[in-house]
Amino acid sequence: MIEWHKGRAAPWGVKTFRIRLQNSFYGCDFHAILADMSLRIDGLLLQREDGVRLLGPLDLSLAPGERLGLVGESGSGKSLLVQALFGVLPPGVIHSGGSLSAFGIPLDVPGPRRDAVRGARLAWVPQEPRQALSPLLPLAAHLTLLPGLHRDESPRVALARLAPLLSRLGLPADSAFLDRFPHQLSGGQRQRLCLAMALSCDPDLLILDEPTTALDPLAQRAFLDLVLDLQRERGLGFLWITHDLALASLACDRLLVLYGGSPLEAGPASELLSTPRHPYTARLVEAARRQPSLESGFLPAPEDRPAGCPYGPRCAFRQDSCATWGPWRDHPEAGLRCEHPLQIPN
């Protein structure tokens, strides 16, 4: 059920009310809920200029305050989705179909409404802070960039407003620290700086693109705990993109599994990880538990993917009937695409 409630105003923010998703939305009026989605992706299709499909068709929706994980191995198309959301697709990649919107505002239609959303209500925490931060700019310039653009705040006002946030993130707010450059920080500090930048305009939705990949295990866990605390305190929603199933199980309440640019299974994280129905999800769970597998092969390059089920060449459960890959089964938010799903034990 969806219910409005008075959110705890973060000391650095001004939000008073948040819409909060309670439980999941099974059994609710799904179409009514879609109108209120933080993020909605309908039939997104990304291709190379030579027509080779890279991602999609992909449908995805995220309710306010929801924690969705997008999981899959490298090359599954996860980061391309982020690049499409923020309009920074690599050269040679074309958005050839479908639509993207955040808070009801199309992200694929240029204009001031879209520009007011990106970086403000919809914010991105990148995978590799070294590439996201300018080595030529001090930390203060990084932190005041988005507030200057979206709130017309002076650096002095922005830094005063952000001081409690920096303290919450374990970063000093004094000038001795803010005058430093990114290379003078530890890896964990750089990632927390990127998180502070993403939160600097008090967003409603974070896109976290494998943010802990470059961190050691202790720093990874500290970052995860910090994001979850902030999510609870501020009613933030997030889309956490990761290849790490263990991390996804801790961070997210719902998962979508991608492989070869196609969605294969979706559902509540606890159910999907305890009783996976798709052979690929089951393989991911086995790999996370370091269990041996009958599977062979690897994710083929986009131009070498089979016409039907992309997991077919690796699948230990493949049958002749898999040559025809049927449509998605069950609910859009809790279903799968497989001709021979695994049986759930009674």
Residues of this chain that bind ligand SF4 (CB under 6 A) = 279, 309, 311-312, 315, 317-318, 322, 325, 338-340
Least distance (Å) from ligand SF4 to the CB of residue 53?
17
Q: In whole angstroms, give the CA distance from residue 63 to residue 57.
A: 20
Which among 133, 151, 147 is positioned nearest to 199, based on CA atoms?
Answer: 147
Shortest CB 284 distance to ligand SF4, Å: 12
Residue 88 CB, nearest approach to ligand SF4 (Å): 32
Minimum CB distance to ligand SF4, residue 4 (Å): 41
Q: How far apart are CA 69 and CA 224, in angstroms?
A: 13
Q: How far is the CB of 43 from ligand SF4 (least distance, A)?
A: 21
How far from 343 is each of 154, 316, 317, 325, CA to CA, in Å?
59, 14, 12, 19
Which is nearer to ligand SF4, 15 or 318 (by Cβ)?
318
Query: Which positions ≥6 away from 175 have C-beta within 8 Å?
Result: 140
Burial 315-324 (b: 16+ CB within 10 A, else e): bebbeeebee
Please list the alpha-helical segments (H only) found in 47-128: 78-85, 112-117
* Helix intervals (H) in 154-216: 155-168, 175-178, 187-199
Nearer to ligand SF4, 11 or 308 (CB): 308
Q: Which residues contact 106 (CB under 8 A, 6 or more apart)?
A: 99, 100, 114
Q: How far apart (Å, rounded) are the C-alpha atoms in residues 301 and 54?
A: 9
Q: Which is nearer to ligand SF4, 209 or 265 (CB)?
A: 265
Q: How far apart are CA 235 and CA 93, in angstroms?
A: 34
- Nearest-Å Rg of the Cα atoms of the chain is 21
Which of 204/339 has CB closer to ligand SF4?
339
Angle at Cα 221 formed by Cα 244 and Cα 181, nearest 5°? 105
Tokens coding 55: 């991602």
Give the residue with the Cβ less far from ligand SF4, 68 or 322: 322
195 vs 315, beta carbon nearer ligand SF4: 315
User: Smallest distance from the beta carbon of 270 to ligand SF4, in angstroms?
Assistant: 22
Kindly tell me which of 263 and 279 has the beta carbon lying closer to ligand SF4. 279
CB of 344 to ligand SF4, least distance (A): 15
Closer of 215 and 315 to ligand SF4 (Cβ): 315
* Nearest distance in Å: CB 316, ligand SF4: 8
CB of 262 to ligand SF4, least distance (A): 10
Reply yes or no: is the peptide bond before residue 57 cis, omega within 30 of 0.
yes
Q: Distance between CA 101 and CA 297 in Å, rounded?
A: 36
- Residue 44 or 315: the one with the smaller Cβ distance to ligand SF4 is 315
